């Protein structure tokens, strides 16, 4: 493999650059052949910089045509331009202006980093290291400068010219060209730079901030899609209002622009004043977007907007601190969604996502700390650990400190660090300073990888009326971290008495208990509660108060009791999940379930369905049987995904077949004729109805026909796709015809084509790989578009374990062949798909061997990108 993989960056080597860039003046001449970029950087040595210290700028795939300092061209011996950048051998030891001119080829840029062209539109993506593909620069997040951007382009091809900040001038440039000048007064790192030039439609609106400033808002998109941008605009205005209410954060520029583009490597990007979005996270209309799409758009619009304070005004000192902006901003978007929708349902949703994506990462070969201390390729650290576990850490901080003190800390953070590039340490220090709480041990959450395993034992002594809880924690070794230290774990809890009501106690000894929270900060603690009149059932980790895996000796009866009586909705949901997980794990290990156990689960679920005090969205989640990846995790080793799939299907049949008529009656009772709206009540109702449909298809003879009928009669995409997805996954006889209908019915809509690809890749039958090969081989398949590629192959890897991990290795080989091909054009997409192999060490020997041989063959073939090589090396370590 290439030696590039040897190049490792360490946090301990961090040092500020010896030179500062004070301001940047960029001039883009955009054209069809090539784009020329003239950069004038005002540079200053730091006071401590020694004479003769070279200025080293990053640069990649640039071709330099001129270079000067303070207007005087440089002699050849004064600089060196290479594949990694530009070195000025002996710059002046005073403020000077470095002027360079380079040319780029945006049309051939399939990596989609730097300046590229999507659907004819010139656009940029710079985070984390894309700006160096635009001009020579200090491409590091601690280099903050003010930017002025002038752009000229052919008026016919690019009537819209956008960049960061405020528009300060525009006009005719002669020759059929025009120009625009943008200025961003806020110093920013280069990763937040953005530019867009193209022929775009738009919708506009405005928002008046709390202090009365009017901000012009616009969303730009492909012509003809303007009517699909209203929900995104509505979400933006609600986000702006929420950040003022909840965190006292106002927007700071005169305009805020969003651009939707079709080719984008991930979700969206928070460039200052000019957010660029993957169009799948902007466009929505009822016929083509699902409730989940609407919720996703709302969340990501909020996320990128919230970055304006947590990310842009206060940014990261280096990329090891990525979690500083991402974990915090995910926490903020989760809170926004909770406030806008249902808190309990949102929490369950976020935890499901954490468990099915982050826990597997943290328990496999790619495990890393939320703040890693080394990397070979930073793009591979935009992970669910940095984002979602990062958000859980912030949430624990809020739980430990309490809402008011958490807000005090956040206020101090904004006050103290505004305008800076800072660190996780500085973030924790503001909370310590604002509240007097020592957070030294808490910091370990950022430094340590792995999901903590928490074991709980309890005992009740009737004679002395004492109840004891022994709680211990242990984190298994992860790559590069053989030993672990104890974490600070907040455990929100309650004790529930035999009649289902909360129980009190007189006193607690042996550990730290504050109101309804136990704080576990040692390896093990034994808490003794006195004055406990009866044996309680403990409800622990209410609201999922810490991202841990809990092992308790609660019986199935205890869990069913909690499912009925717990005042905490999260734990009610959790208790039901635990009951079915335990049954499936037993069955996978060959221990058949008894009738009584199935009946007990069935009646708890039927009771939940019939309970009028619960909302529909919650019921839909309660009626969800844990997915195959969760069952596999619970089994822990030597997993046979086919067996897991079979056991899950059997459980669904055993539990639901006898009450099929009840489910069907409930299903019909939820039918609605009101016009579609993406609101909480309606989407909750649809989610429950579609959950019932899915259970009926999987457990009753008439289910598939019912789904086919729903598919045909649906008036919105949520209902249509739900029906298609369950039929497609089961690959019932109806599947091929419905898929064919779906494809032609929405021909020409690429985002619906993605849905078709997703369903196609999810089929459990043995024909799926051949069908996917045919899809990819079709010459009309857009082989460079990340959304299309991920919808097909990403779905297969992450969502179709039965076929991906086939014992004959065909699934693994399909994916490694795909990676080899795509890696040459878009390494980020290839590397991301490759991470799907992280489950391989958990598999039973035959599948494990098949995975290993596919991975070693990929390695032997050589010449992978740094992105894919890094993933592969860690995967096989």
Phi, psi (degrees; rounded to nearest 5) at 93: -95, 50
Q: How many CB atoms lie within 10 A of CB 643?
A: 18
**Minimum Å distance from CB 300 to ligand ARG?**
8
Indicate which of ligand ARG, Zn ion, none lies near residue 268 (CB less than 5 to 8 Å, by partner kind): ligand ARG
Of 399 and 865, CB closest to ligand ARG: 865
SS3 848: helix
**Minimum Å distance from CB 267 to ligand ARG?**
6
**Minimum Å distance from CB 833 to ligand ARG?**
14
Report the distance separating Cα 290 and Cα 296, nearest Å.
10
Nearest Cα to Cα of residue 62 among 163, 7, 10, 137:
137
Of 324 and 410, CB closest to ligand ARG: 324
Tokens describing residue 805: 């991990």
**Cis peptide leading into residue 128 (ω within 30°):** yes
Binding stretches for Zn ion (CB under 5 A): 326, 329
Q: How many CA atoms lie within 13 A of 414 on its CB side?
A: 16
Of 158 and 378, CB closest to ligand ARG: 378
Of 130 and 360, CB closest to ligand ARG: 130
> Which residue in the shown chain puts its C-beta closest to ligand ARG?
382
Q: With contact defined as beta carbons under 8 Å apart, do 429 and 443 qualify?
A: no
Indicate which of ligand ARG, Zn ion, none lies near residue 127 (CB less than 5 to 8 Å, by partner kind): ligand ARG
**Minimum Å distance from CB 330 to ligand ARG?**
8
Indicate which of ligand ARG, Zn ion, none lies near residue 806 (CB less than 5 to 8 Å, by partner kind): none
Going by their DSSP bridges, the two strands 85-88 and 79-82 should be labelled as antiparallel
What is the Cα Rg of the chain in Å?
28
Report the distance separating Cα 221 and Cα 622, nearest Å.
39
Phi, psi (degrees; rounded to nearest 5) at 242: -65, -40
Q: What CA–CA distances, in Å, run from 500 to 557, 559, 608, 733? A: 13, 12, 16, 47
Of 329 and 337, CB closest to Zn ion: 329
How is residue 478 annotated by DSSP? B
Of 270 and 870, CB closest to ligand ARG: 270
Binding mask of the shown chain, residues 347 to 386, with x at each position contacting ligand ARG by CB under 6 A: --------------------------------x--x----
**Minimum Å distance from CB 264 to ligand ARG?**
10
Of 382 and 814, CB closest to ligand ARG: 382
Of 323 and 727, CB closest to ligand ARG: 323
Residues 245-304 that bind ligand ARG (CB under 6 A): 266, 268-270, 303-304
Binding mask of the shown chain, residues 380 to 409, with x at each position contacting ligand ARG by CB under 6 A: --x---------------------------
With a CB cutoff of 8 Å and minimum separation 6, the contacts of 240 are: 207, 209, 215, 251, 305
SS3 313: coil
Indicate which of ligand ARG, Zn ion, none lies near residue 266 (CB less than 5 to 8 Å, by partner kind): ligand ARG
Size of interface with ligand ARG, in residues (CB under 6 A): 11
Q: What CA–CA distances, in Å, run from 711 to 247, 671, 738, 741, 745? A: 44, 14, 8, 10, 12
Indicate which of ligand ARG, Zn ion, none lies near residue 566 (CB less than 5 to 8 Å, by partner kind): none
Indicate which of ligand ARG, Zn ion, none lies near residue 492 (CB less than 5 to 8 Å, by partner kind): none
**Minimum Å distance from CB 689 to ligand ARG?**
33
Of 62 and 268, CB closest to ligand ARG: 268
Indicate which of Zn ion, ligand ARG, none lies near residue 823 (CB less than 5 to 8 Å, by partner kind): none
Catalytic residue from among 129, 304, 326, 734: 304
* Residue 319 within binding range of ligand ARG, rule CB under 6 A: no
Phi, psi (degrees; rounded to nearest 5) at 292: -65, -35
**Minimum Å distance from CB 268 to ligand ARG?**
6
Q: What CA–CA distances, in Å, run from 848 to 39, 631, 853? A: 52, 18, 9
- With both helix axes pointing from N to C terminus, report the angle between 390-401 and 322-340 in degrees, rounded to the nearest 10: 70
Q: Identify the residue among 139, 263, 326, 361 touching ligand ARG (CB under 6 A).
A: 326
Indicate which of Zn ion, ligand ARG, none lies near residue 458 (CB less than 5 to 8 Å, by partner kind): none
Q: What CA–CA distances, in Å, run from 214 to 242, 256, 656? A: 16, 11, 56
Terminal Cα distance for the chain, rounded:
14
Please confirm, yes or no, whether 304 is among the known catalytic residues.
yes
Rounded to 5°, angle at Cα 344 from 559 and 518: 60
Binding mask of the shown chain, residues 119 to 158, with x at each position contacting ligand ARG by CB under 6 A: --------xx------------------------------
**Minimum Å distance from CB 421 to Zn ion?**
16
Report the distance separating Cα 356 and Cα 77, nearest Å.
56
**Contact footprint for ligand ARG (CB under 6 A):** 127-128, 266, 268-270, 303-304, 326, 379, 382
Q: Any idea which residues carry the catalytic annotation?
A: 304
């Amino acid at each position: 493999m290439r030696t590039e993989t040897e190049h490792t960056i360490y946090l301990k080597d961090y040092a500020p650059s010896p030179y500062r860039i004070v301001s940047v003046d960029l001039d883009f001449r955009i054209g069809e052949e090539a784009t020329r970029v003239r950069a004038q950087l005002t540079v200053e040595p730091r006071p401590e910089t020694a004479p003769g210290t070279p200025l080293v700028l990053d640069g990649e795939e640039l071709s330099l045509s001129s270079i000067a300092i303070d207007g005087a061209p440089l002699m050849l011996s004064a600089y060196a331009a290479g594949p990694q950048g530009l070195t000025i051998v002996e710059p002046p030891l005073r403020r000077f202006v470095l002027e360079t001119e380079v040319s780029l080829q945006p049309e051939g840029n399939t990596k989609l980093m730097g300046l590229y062209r999507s659907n004819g539109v010139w656009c940029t993506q710079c985070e984390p290291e894309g700006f160096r593909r635009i001009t020579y620069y200090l491409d590091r997040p601690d280099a903050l400068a003010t930017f002025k951007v002038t752009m000229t382009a052919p008026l016919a091809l690019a009537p819209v010219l956008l960049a960061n900040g405020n528009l300060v001038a525009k006009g005719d440039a002669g020759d059929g060209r025009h120009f625009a000048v943008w200025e961003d007064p806020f110093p920013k790192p280069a990763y937040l730079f953005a530019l867009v030039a193209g022929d775009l439609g738009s919708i506009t609106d405005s928002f008046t901030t709390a202090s009365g400033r009017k901000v012009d808002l616009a969303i730009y998109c492909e012509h003809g899609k303007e009517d699909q941008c209203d929900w995104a605009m509505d979400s933006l205005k609600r986000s702006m209002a929420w950040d003022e209410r909840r965190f006292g954060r106002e927007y700071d520029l005169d305009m805020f622009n969003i651009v939707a583009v079709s080719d984008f490597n991930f979700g969206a990007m928070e460039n200052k004043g000019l957010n660029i979005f993957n169009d799948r996270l902007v466009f929505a209309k009822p016929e083509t977007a699902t409730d989940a799409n609407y919720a996703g758009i709302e969340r990501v619009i909020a996320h990128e907007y919230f970055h304006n304070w947590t990310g842009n005004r206060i940014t990261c000192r280096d990329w090891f601190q990525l979690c500083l902006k991402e974990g915090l901003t995910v926490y903020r978007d989760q809170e926004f969604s909770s406030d806008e929708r249902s808190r309990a349902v949102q929490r369950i949703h976020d935890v499901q996502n954490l468990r099915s994506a982050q826990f597997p990462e943290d328990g496999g070969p790619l495990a890393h700390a939320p703040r890693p201390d080394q990397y070979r390729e930073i793009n591979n650290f935009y992970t669910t650990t940095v984002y979602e576990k990062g958000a859980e850490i912030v949430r624990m901080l809020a739980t430990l400190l309490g809402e008011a003190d958490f807000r005090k800390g956040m206020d101090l953070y904004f006050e103290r660090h505004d305008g800076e590039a800072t660190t996780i340490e500085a973030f924790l220090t503001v909370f310590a300073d604002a509240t007097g709480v020592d957070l030294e041990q808490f910091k370990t959450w950022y430094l340590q990888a792995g999901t903590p395993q928490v074991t709980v034992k309890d005992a009740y002594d009737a004679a002395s009326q004492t109840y004891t809880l022994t709680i211990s924690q242990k984190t298994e070794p992860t790559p590069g971290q053989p030993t672990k230290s104890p974490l600070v774990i907040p455990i929100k809890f309650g004790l529930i008495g035999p009649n289902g009501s909360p129980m009190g106690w007189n006193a607690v000894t042996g550990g730290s208990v504050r109101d309804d929270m136990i704080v576990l900060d040692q390896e093990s603690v034994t808490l003794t509660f006195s004055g406990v009149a009866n044996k309680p059932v403990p409800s622990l980790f209410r609201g999922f108060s810490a991202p841990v895996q809990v092992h308790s000796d609660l019986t199935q009866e205890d869990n069913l009791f909690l499912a009925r009586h717990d005042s905490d909705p999260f734990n009610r949901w959790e208790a039901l999940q635990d009951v079915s997980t335990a049954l499936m794990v037993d069955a996978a290990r060959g221990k058949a379930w008894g009738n009584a156990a199935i009946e007990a689960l069935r009646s708890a679920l039927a009771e939940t369905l019939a309970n009028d005090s619960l909302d529909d969205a919650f019921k839909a989640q309660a009626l969800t049987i844990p997915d195959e990846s969760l069952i596999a995790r619970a089994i822990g080793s030597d997993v046979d995904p086919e067996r897991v799939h079979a056991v899950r299907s059997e459980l669904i049949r055993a539990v639901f077949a006898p009450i099929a008529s009840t489910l069907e009656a409930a299903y019909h009772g939820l039918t609605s004729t009101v016009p579609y709206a993406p609101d909480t009540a309606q989407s909750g109702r649809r989610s429950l109805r579609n959950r019932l449909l899915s259970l009926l298809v999987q457990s009753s003879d008439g289910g598939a026909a019912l789904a086919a009928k729903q598919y045909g009669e649906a008036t919105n995409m949520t209902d249509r796709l739900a029906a298609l997805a369950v039929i497609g996954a089961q690959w019932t006889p109806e599947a091929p015809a419905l898929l064919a209908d779906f494809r032609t019915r929405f021909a020409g809509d690429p985002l619906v084509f993605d849905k078709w690809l997703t369903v196609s890749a999810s089929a459990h039958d043995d024909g799926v790989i051949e069908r996917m090969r045919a899809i990819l081989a079709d010459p009309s398949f857009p082989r460079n578009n990340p959304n299309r590629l991920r919808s097909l192959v990403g779905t297969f890897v992450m969502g179709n374990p039965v076929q991906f991990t086939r014992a004959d290795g065909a699934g693994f080989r399909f994916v490694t062949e795909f990676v080899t091909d795509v890696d040459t054009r878009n390494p980020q997409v290839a590397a991301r798909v490759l991470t799907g192999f992280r489950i391989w060490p958990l598999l039973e020997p035959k599948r494990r061997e098949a995975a290993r041989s596919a991975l070693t063959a990929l390695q032997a073939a050589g010449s992978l990108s740094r992105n894919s090589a890094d993933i592969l090396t860690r995967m096989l370590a």
